[in-house]
Amino acid sequence: CVSPEPQRAEVTTVVIQPSLEQINLADKPFALVGRLVVNAKQQKFSGGIRWQHTQQNDEIYLFSSLGQVIAEILRDQTGVSLTTSEPTTYHAQKAEYLTDQVLGWELPLAGLQFWVRGEHYPGTIAEKDLDTNNRTVAIRQDGWSVSYRSYHAAHQPKLLEFSYNDVKMKLIVDQWGKAE
């Protein structure tokens, strides 16, 4: 069931101050399977994404449009590793840096793990547009603009569009949770 597109007209904008203790409190585990398109100046990506998130770790697989795995991104308490299909493994503290270096475009993991659920990242100031039934229509934060085009259900967006300077991204979440 795909809910109708949230109306643009009656949108209330709230500005949310950062609250660092919320980063852990607001963190929720999830699993999703979907499709991701990235249009960055020097690098583009179009394919599938499979993502399992908990507070302690992230397991992300990026697939080519033809279905084979391009990169496996694993985050745990010690940092982040990115393994390509060669396979070659790269390590860094942050996924943002690693994806930018290895894939040529930045996956904003810290924010995305909240944005993907229609929430803002609690660590920095955020602006959030809410429609009349209090559903997130857009979030502007850390230079990113996130638009929620459609939802599966509350807190389960379906089509999200992102922009950051000249980078454009589109994410369709086809499946929340484990495959039945």
Partner 1 sequence: SATDSLKIFISNAHTFRAHFSQKLLDRNFQLIKKASGDMMFERPGKFRWVYDEPYQQLIIGDGKQVWFYDQDLAQVTVHRLDQALGSTPAALLAGDNTIERDFELQEIEVQGETEWLEAIPKAQENAFELIRLGFSQAGMLREMILRDSFDQITWLVFSETEQNPELAADLFQFTPPEGVDVISD
Which residue, 21 or 166, has its beta carbon nearer to partner 1?
Answer: 166
Cβ atoms within 10 A of the Cβ of 58, count? 18
Least separation in angstroms between residue 140's CB and partner 1 is: 23
Q: Are 10 and 131 in contact (CB under 8 A)?
A: yes
Residue 42 corresponds to which amino acid?
A: Q
The DSSP letter of residue 77 is T
Least separation in angstroms between residue 164's CB and partner 1 is: 18
Which residue, 59 or 100, has its beta carbon nearer to partner 1?
Answer: 59
Which residue, 126 or 159, has its beta carbon nearer to partner 1?
Answer: 159
Query: Cα–Cα distance between 146 and 112 in angstroms, integer?
Result: 10
Q: Are 19 and 120 in contact (CB under 8 A)?
A: no
Kindly list the residues in this chain that would bind partner 1 in the complex (CB under 8 A): 33, 35, 37, 39, 44, 46-47, 50, 61, 64-69, 72, 83, 85, 87, 159, 170, 172, 174-175, 178-179
